[in-house]
Amino acid sequence: MRNLVAHKLRLALTAFAVVLGVAFVAGTLVFTDTMSRQFDQLFSKTGKGVAVQVRPKKVVDGGDGQNGAEAPTLPASLAATVAKVPGVGRVHGSVNGFAAVVGKNGKVVGGSGAPQLGTDWDPDNRDFPMKAGRGPTGPGEVAIDAKAAAKAGLKVGDQTRVIIQGPPQTVTVVGIVDSGNLMGATVTAFDQRTAQRLLLKPGRFSDITVTAQGGVSETALRDRIQRVLPSPDYEAITGTKMRDENKSEVGRILSFIRTFLLVFAVISIFVGAFIIFNTFSMLVAQRSRELALLRAVGASRRQVTRAVLGEAIGVGFVGSTIGLAAGVGLALLLRQLFNAIGAEFGGGLTFTYKPVLWSYAVGMVVTVVAAYFPARRAAKIPPVAAMRDDVAMPQRSLRIRVLVGSLVTVAGAVLAGLGLGGSGLALLGVGLGLVFLGVAMLAPVIARPVVKVIGSVYPRVFRTPGRLARQNALRNPRRTAATASALMIGLALVSGINVMSASAKASISRQVDKSFAADYFVSATARAFSPAEPAQAVRSVPGVELVTALYAGRFAAGKKAESFLATDRPEDLKRAARLSLVSGSAELGDDGLLVDEPTATSDHLQVGSTIPARFPDGKTASVRVAGVYAKNPLLGSRVLALPAYLAHTDRPTGNGLMIKTAKADAATKKGIERALSAFPDLQVQDQSDVKKSVQKSVDQFVTLLTVLLALSIIIAGLGIINTLALSVIERTREIGLLRAIGTSRRQTRRMIRLESVLIALFGAVLGIGIGVVFGVGVQRAVSDQGVNVLSVPVSTLVGYVVLAAVIGVLAALWPAWRASRMDVLRAIAFE
């Protein structure tokens, strides 16, 4: 307690390394608990009163994606059958699909963010109470949720358009409903007949919900209804199971978000552990005479160890407490971020015991573990050392360190390789952690030659301050290595991610050049569209020579669900997508299928082979392999005849339009855009736009990862500040003597800054080197999945070296100022 109180600044700097990691843990748990609570409230509200749900069984995984048209449906006549079952109360056939409102500015509300839900208006449904107007009663009328209306600038009586999976519909807003907190989703309700016609098919329902009469249990009613269902492809489930499944699906999403964010929290804590270890190592070394005196007057080894660990507990407690408070602020920031991208959260944060428990557990355990080995070394100081003027801390031989570090590094590399080979991300994470730990153990051996090379220009450029700075960094390679290792981890991960992103973008560019022969590609910003009408509109544009409509679907072949494209003009793919047939023909007829070479090899297919394909509507049809083509990233692994696809879907889903023109210029592009003006969710892109669009997504993801990893780099900067501050205290007498023989304050500050920059550059060189190796390894491991071009962003990596130097300069500002302001006489007399 005395040491903690006597060195408040040291306590604050060390605790701050704990604060950031703990804040990430606490913020993630608070945020995901908040999301979970709000989804629970949403599902308990929307499913309230439902005793049984009748639904079609899922046939193809992924076939019931965002729009209900791809999912199997129920005949409307089934509702009457269910209504006759004893114990049934109210029966309602639901219609669900895709519908997006166009605002007064001509833009689709919601874009590619939260779901855009189309449904039927149920006057008896209390989930969406009417706020203004009335419910829709006929074609051309809709009710929309209040938040969508506000974003679109619409009110009751306004006319607008609604985008569906088909031609856009001109409608009148007749009602505004209160949808509650749907996390940014939009709701557009039609009368039931119109909803069936536009979203599914006349006479079809997505599902049927049933309430129970008094005294009838959910399970009893479910069993009665199941017995009257006319097809084994239909099933009845209890309302409780329906709500649990909804929660479970959301739970998987929340689990991914939680794991994703906690990974970065672990990285920050891992980096913080290096800072804590280094700080306590220096503190113990500086107090070695004091500790020896304690041993001389009777303190046992255990008592000395406990005293040092007690300081660590104090640091951990302070850091965990502040980190917990900062985590609440981080949760608020995350909520604002999700609100900005359309996933709106209302209400306050949910605060449970879990963030508190984990914050203190993580913060205090990591701090104590990191301080344990310095505490053990402190206990080994012999009592007789108190009689000496200088006390040297016991140091282990670097030979043992090299041997253990080499073994740990090799083991980590093997585990990381297995993880990259498909054995799991957890194995990859453990492998990376061991590699970083192993390299950190080897760093003191690497430090001497690397620091000598990096600092070789110091004496010539900076004269005496440069020479002293290099000698200070070389004086204690263990300390230099431990300080640089924290920065190494952050920069290694950032560099590896940048190598992967540069390789991905280069691969995308090559794939577009190789397989995209069309001049323009038309796609939807919303989640579903029917390409038939847009294709017809574009074909009338002067200068357009070829328009190929692409559809997307899935079927089950055996136990696997497979994705495919379908097209109305398969022969045109040779010109539009550079389709290169290896065998067979592109004439698909009504049941033909093209497969690429890798698929033909893995599935043992050849021209003439037949495949029993089970479609989302529950029906099975045989498709014939008409041809085999060279691998084409744009087309994927399968191209199905359009008639075979249309026979099994009520509302086909568009993937895009590929357009060839006589002259690809601005006038032609404007002509295409004018032809598509009735479809506000469609965008026209040329080849460069397609590249930029995909590469922009990669850049956004890399930016997100870099921002999350920035915390570890900030912690590393704090570690350099801590090390330099303690180093200045340790060298007080030395600095006083330098000042006494004529070293100016400016030279003293420069010496400290140059030493800081040298440590930071060593960490950068080590980290970037490891990052490049990992990036290349990951690229090679996934080269068969499309990332087949290796690209090392040299300019970006050079920028990180410069950034490391800047971090070194900033980290040295306060320690350098403090060193230059020392009283010379007091410094000389310092012991």
Is pLDDT above 70 for 10? Answer: no
Beta-bridge partners for 133: 175
pLDDT-derived band at 227 (thresholds 50, 70, 90) equals very high
Task: Judge if 59 and 207 occupy the same domain.
Answer: yes
pLDDT-derived band at 68 (thresholds 50, 70, 90) equals very low
* Greater model confidence, 60 or 173: 173
| Final residue in a domain of this structure, among 678, 706, 732 | 678
260 residue type, one letter: F
| Final residue in a domain of this structure, among 197, 221, 238 | 238
Task: Return the closest-CA partner of residue 323 out of 19, 771, 735, 550.
Answer: 19
| Number of separate domains in the chain | 4
Predicted pLDDT of residue 391:
47
pLDDT-derived band at 205 (thresholds 50, 70, 90) equals very high
Rounded CA separation 728/371 (Å)? 21
pLDDT-derived band at 49 (thresholds 50, 70, 90) equals confident
Q: What is the mean pLDDT of the chain?
A: 84
Is pLDDT above 80 for 829? Answer: no
Rounded CA separation 343/366 (Å)? 35
Task: Judge if 232 and 284 occupy the same domain.
Answer: no
**pLDDT for 783-818, tens place per residue?**
777 788 889 999 999 999 999 999 999 989 988 898
Q: Is residue 609 within 8 Å of 623, Cβ to Cβ? A: no
Predicted pLDDT of residue 64:
45
The answer for 380, left when phi > 0, alpha when psi is -120 to 50, beta otherwise, is alpha
Is pLDDT above 80 for 126? Answer: no
Q: Quick one: 240 exposed, middle or buried, by C-beta within 10 A (0-12, 13-18, 19+)? A: middle
* DSSP for 770-828, written as a single string: HHHHHHHHHHHHTGGGT-------HHHHHHHHHHHHHHHHHHHHHHHHHHHT--HHHHH
Q: Is residue 17 within 8 Å of 315, Cβ to Cβ? A: no
For 45-49, 353-357, 445-449, 535-539, which range has the lowest pLDDT when averaged over its residues? 45-49
Token code pair at residue 120: 């039927």
Q: What is the pTM of this model?
A: 0.78
62 residue type, one letter: G
| Final residue in a domain of this structure, among 636, 653, 678 | 678
Specify if 428 maps to a domain.
Answer: no
Is pLDDT above 70 for 255? Answer: yes
Is pLDDT above 60 for 65? Answer: no
Task: Judge if 454 and 498 occupy the same domain.
Answer: yes
Q: Is residue 650 within 8 Å of 196, Cβ to Cβ? A: no
Predicted pLDDT of residue 674:
92
**pLDDT for 423-461, tens place per residue?**
666 777 788 888 888 888 888 888 889 999 999 999 989
Rounded CA separation 230/618 (Å)? 14
Rounded CA separation 806/783 (Å)? 36
Rounded CA separation 185/719 (Å)? 44
Q: Quick one: 539 exposed, middle or buried, by C-beta within 10 A (0-12, 13-18, 19+)? A: middle
Specify if 662 maps to a domain.
Answer: yes
661 residue type, one letter: T
Q: Is residue 481 within 8 Å of 447, Cβ to Cβ? A: yes
Token code pair at residue 670: 């404007």
Contacts of 535 (CB under 8 A, 6+ apart): 547, 549, 568, 657
Is pLDDT above 90 for 384? Answer: no
Predicted pLDDT of residue 671:
93
Predicted pLDDT of residue 510:
85
The residue-averaged pLDDT of 404-419 equals 86
Token code pair at residue 294: 């304690």
Predicted pLDDT of residue 236:
94
pLDDT-derived band at 655 (thresholds 50, 70, 90) equals confident
Residue 109 vs residues 105, 152, 342, 560: alpha-carbon distances, Å: 10, 6, 10, 36
Around Cβ 124, how many Cβ atoms within 10 Å?
Answer: 6
Helices marked H in 395-528 — which ranges?
A: 398-418, 425-454, 458-475, 477-515
Percent of the chain with pLDDT over 70: 91
Predicted pLDDT of residue 599:
92
Predicted pLDDT of residue 70:
60
Predicted pLDDT of residue 526:
66
Angle among Cα 825, 828, 831 to the nearest 5 degrees reads 125
Specify if 205 maps to a domain.
Answer: yes
Is pLDDT above 60 for 393? Answer: no
Task: Judge if 281 and 227 occupy the same domain.
Answer: no
Rounded CA separation 446/766 (Å)? 9
Q: Is residue 96 within 8 Å of 146, Cβ to Cβ? A: no
The residue-averaged pLDDT of 515-526 equals 85
Instruction: Please state the φ and ψ torsions of residue 542, each to the nearest 5 degrees.
Output: -60, 135
Specify if 397 maps to a domain.
Answer: no
Stated as kind and residue range, the H or E segment containing 629 is: strand 620-629
Is pLDDT above 60 for 568? Answer: yes
Is pLDDT above 90 for 136? Answer: yes
Rounded CA separation 32/35 (Å)? 5
Is pLDDT above 70 for 44? Answer: no
Instruction: Please state the φ and ψ torsions of residue 554, each to the nearest 5 degrees.
Output: -145, 150
Any idea of the CA torsion for 680, 682, 683, 684, to the nearest 10 degrees?
-120
Task: Judge if 33 and 156 occupy the same domain.
Answer: no
Tokens 């069936």 -> residue? 196
Task: Judge if 652 and 726 occupy the same domain.
Answer: no
Task: Judge if 297 and 181 occupy the same domain.
Answer: no
Instruction: Please state the φ and ψ torsions of residue 118, each to the nearest 5 degrees.
Output: -110, 140
Token code pair at residue 411: 């083991």
Q: Is residue 85 within 8 Å of 221, Cβ to Cβ? A: yes
Task: Judge if 290 and 279 occupy the same domain.
Answer: yes
* Greater model confidence, 814 or 559: 814
Task: Return the closest-CA partner of residue 235 out of 55, 50, 68.
Answer: 55
Task: Judge if 69 and 213 occupy the same domain.
Answer: yes
Rounded CA separation 235/216 (Å)? 19
Is pLDDT above 50 for 324? Answer: yes
* Greater model confidence, 643 or 528: 643
* Greater model confidence, 538 or 651: 538
Rounded CA separation 113/339 (Å)? 11
pLDDT-derived band at 130 (thresholds 50, 70, 90) equals confident
Token code pair at residue 667: 């006038």
* Greater model confidence, 828 or 805: 805
Task: Judge if 621 and 726 occupy the same domain.
Answer: no
Tokens 């890798």 -> residue? 598
Predicted pLDDT of residue 425:
65
Specify if 758 maps to a domain.
Answer: yes
Query: In whole angstroms, how large is the CA radius of gyration of the chain?
Result: 33
Half-sphere exposure of 537 (CA within 13 A, CB side): 18
Q: Is residue 417 within 8 Å of 431, Cβ to Cβ? A: yes
Rounded CA separation 191/321 (Å)? 55
Rounded CA separation 303/325 (Å)? 33
Rounded CA separation 204/192 (Å)? 10
Specify if 573 maps to a domain.
Answer: yes
Which residue segment(s) compose the domain that 256 sits in? Answer: 1-50+239-390
The residue-averaged pLDDT of 61-83 equals 71
Token code pair at residue 267: 């990285």
User: Which pairing describes strands 520-524 and 682-686: parallel, antiparallel, or unpaired?
Assistant: antiparallel
The residue-averaged pLDDT of 462-470 equals 91
Task: Judge if 494 and 578 occupy the same domain.
Answer: no
Rounded CA separation 471/787 (Å)? 45
Predicted pLDDT of residue 831:
59
Predicted pLDDT of residue 37:
78
User: Which pairing describes strands 141-145 and 186-190: parallel, antiparallel, or unpaired?
Assistant: antiparallel
* Greater model confidence, 339 or 696: 696
User: Which pairing describes strands 169-177 and 141-145: parallel, antiparallel, or unpaired?
Assistant: parallel
Is pLDDT above 50 for 69? Answer: no
Specify if 405 maps to a domain.
Answer: no
The residue-averaged pLDDT of 105-130 equals 78
Give the DSSP letter of residue 422.
I
Task: Judge if 566 and 483 occupy the same domain.
Answer: no
Helices marked H in 476-620 — which ranges?
A: 477-515, 532-539, 573-576, 597-602
Rounded CA separation 800/795 (Å)? 9
**pLDDT for 597-612, tens place per residue?**
999 999 899 999 999 9
For 405-414, 485-494, 723-732, which range has the lowest pLDDT when averaged over its residues? 723-732
The answer for 489, left when phi > 0, alpha when psi is -120 to 50, beta otherwise, is alpha
Is pLDDT above 80 for 705? Answer: yes
Q: Is residue 278 within 8 Å of 723, Cβ to Cβ? A: yes
Specify if 490 maps to a domain.
Answer: yes
For 212-216, 717-721, 753-757, which range has the lowest pLDDT when averaged over its residues? 717-721
Is pLDDT above 80 for 13? Answer: no
